[in-house]
Amino acid sequence: MRIQNKMFYESVQRWIDEMMLKIIENLGLDIHKAQYELLESTGNFMSNIYRIRLKFENKTNRQKEELSIILKRPMLDCFNQITRTDLQFRNEILFHQMYAQPDN
């Protein structure tokens, strides 16, 4: 049982690492010395939610900055196929792209 738990947590950590690399890349070239920490993980039968703090130095003004980030990951694939939760996540991303932009 411990081996399965270890494999699960390693898989989650790899996924978080991949997502954070993409997020840091999307923030642009002004990011320097980026690091993040997982503050909390919660979940239910539909998704896991990870609360993360991203710390970095802004190259332009040399200020240290922080961003709070929420990552959501759907749970089991078979459950997602039955309940079609992939549509929920796709719609949520579209909402954030269209409406939740602080610059607009």
Q: What is the DSSP string of the chain?
A: -HHHHHHHHHHHHHHHHHHHHHHHHHH-TTEEEEEEEEEEEEE-SSEEEEEEEEEEEETTT--EEEEEEEEEEE--HHHHHHHTHHHHHHHHHHHHHHT--TT-
Stronger pLDDT, 65 or 93, i.e. the higher one: 65
Is residue 22 included in any domain, yes or no?
Answer: yes
Task: Give percent of the chain with pLDDT exceeding 90.
Answer: 4
Domain total of the chain: 1
Residue 32 sits in which domain range?
Answer: 2-74
Question: Considering the domain boundaries, does residue 103 fall inside one?
Answer: no
Is 61 within the bounds of a domain? yes
| Reported pTM | 0.62
